[in-house]
Amino acid sequence: MTPPATRDNFVPALLAWFDAHQRPMPWRARAGQTPNPYHVLLSEAMLQQTQVATVVPYFLRFIDAFPTIDALARANEQQVLRLWQGLGYYSRAHNLLKAARMVVERFDGMVPRTVDELLTLPGVGRYTAGAIASIAYDTHAPILDGNVVRVLCRIDALRRDPRDKAVQFQLWARAESLLPDCRTGDFNQSMMELGATVCTPKNPSCLICPVQQMCRAHAQGIQDRIPPAKQTKPLKAERRWVFCVQRCDGKYLIEQRPPIGRWAGMWQFISVEAATDMITPAVARAACGYALKGLTPLATVHHTLTHRQYQFDAYRGTAKARANAISPRRWATLAEMEELPFSKPQLAIRKRLGESE
């Protein structure tokens, strides 16, 4: 009979494993050091929906450019978006900047210690608040992210769908029931680490798992079926035409996206929804505001987001344009564009354009 996981048997086994096997991460405090709450806040913002290996270089560039939360609060949105470029989910960057400014204005530049205060910051939900409070200050707060959910469901052989609200409620309570009185931050990190490196979604490494003795899914041989697979919906397909319009001095026409919505505040070549199958000079002229000469295909770029699949069909052409473009449009060389934040698909088009010059 497998004993249930409790604070007494689960916590020491997991913490001992974490002490020996945790991966070094630049935002983690070394032994004997106190965590830097700003680094914890920044890393948690970046780690949402994103893997550690992807985040590390972004994190290092960020703390190099903005060594303190005050420095970040003083940054402008374009600087922050440019550094975030390529990391995706850009609402996180907007929220991070707002949160930094709020920390400076309302909390004297100190990242809050309590979950309730952290929840007042933009972009901070229950998971992030618990993670920051516990990791930065050892505040007694549980966390529940995808990795922790998987570990909890498996140790209890919980077969129900963890996306169900009632199950979520149960899992939060279960996470709290295991939370130790001290080393809370380490415990929360060890749960996430176990889920990321040992109790993985497919083929979990049960043979080397430090909590195998108290795992009911393993005892029953059903770990691969827990949690149940998500029903995937077909992605919505979206098609865009992108016009790389060049004028006689070599500059290209670009535009800034609106301040809200996808890729908010970032820059792009002139992009419009592809309303028909065929591109025509009239459509190109209406989109760009100039009659284009030599309109030729440049590239097709596919980009997949959580719920959408984009196809960008890019064309290049020249315009007899002398006048300055009106904001939010401007003319820029490829070198000048390097300083501006572009989304990943627009960067791919820009790269192709550079190669074709």
Please identify, using beta-carbon distances, which residue of 143 and 151 lies nearer to ligand SF4.
Answer: 151
Please identify, using beta-carbon distances, which residue of 150 and 251 lies nearer to ligand SF4.
Answer: 150
**Does the CA dihedral 56-58-62-65 come out positive or negative?**
positive
Task: Compute the distance between CA of residue 260 and CA of residue 295 in angstroms, rounded to an integer.
Answer: 31
Under the binding rule (CB under 6 A), the answer on residue 152 touching ligand SF4 is no
Please identify, using beta-carbon distances, which residue of 222 and 235 lies nearer to ligand SF4.
Answer: 222
Joined tokens for residue 179: 């939370």
| Interacting positions 201-230 with ligand SF4 (CB under 6 A) | 204-206, 209, 211-212, 215, 217-218, 223
Q: Please report, for residues 13, 101, 188, 343, the alpha-carbon distance to residue 111 in angstroms, rounded to integers and kept in the order given.
A: 31, 11, 19, 30
Q: Give the nearest distance from C-beta 163 to ligand SF4 in angstroms.
A: 19
- Would you give the DSSP letter of residue 112? P
Under the binding rule (CB under 6 A), the answer on residue 155 touching ligand SF4 is yes
Span near ligand SF4 by CB under 6 A; candidates 151-159, 173-181, 252-260, 307-315: 151-159
Q: Give the nearest distance from C-beta 214 to ligand SF4 in angstroms.
A: 9
Q: Please report, for residues 80, 96, 242, 246, 351, the alpha-carbon distance to residue 334 in angstroms, rounded to integers and kept in the order given.
A: 20, 28, 16, 11, 9
Q: Are 357 and 322 in contact (CB under 8 A)?
A: no
| Given 39, 154, 257, 316, the residue binding ligand SF4 (CB under 6 A) | 154
Under the binding rule (CB under 6 A), the answer on residue 198 touching ligand SF4 is yes
Burial 168-189 (b: 16+ CB within 10 A, else e): eebbbebbeebbbeebbbbbbb
Under the binding rule (CB under 6 A), the answer on residue 192 touching ligand SF4 is no
| Interacting positions 64-123 with ligand SF4 (CB under 6 A) | none
Catalytic residues: 44
* Residues in contact with ligand SF4 by the rule CB under 6 A: 151, 154-155, 198-199, 204-206, 209, 211-212, 215, 217-218, 223
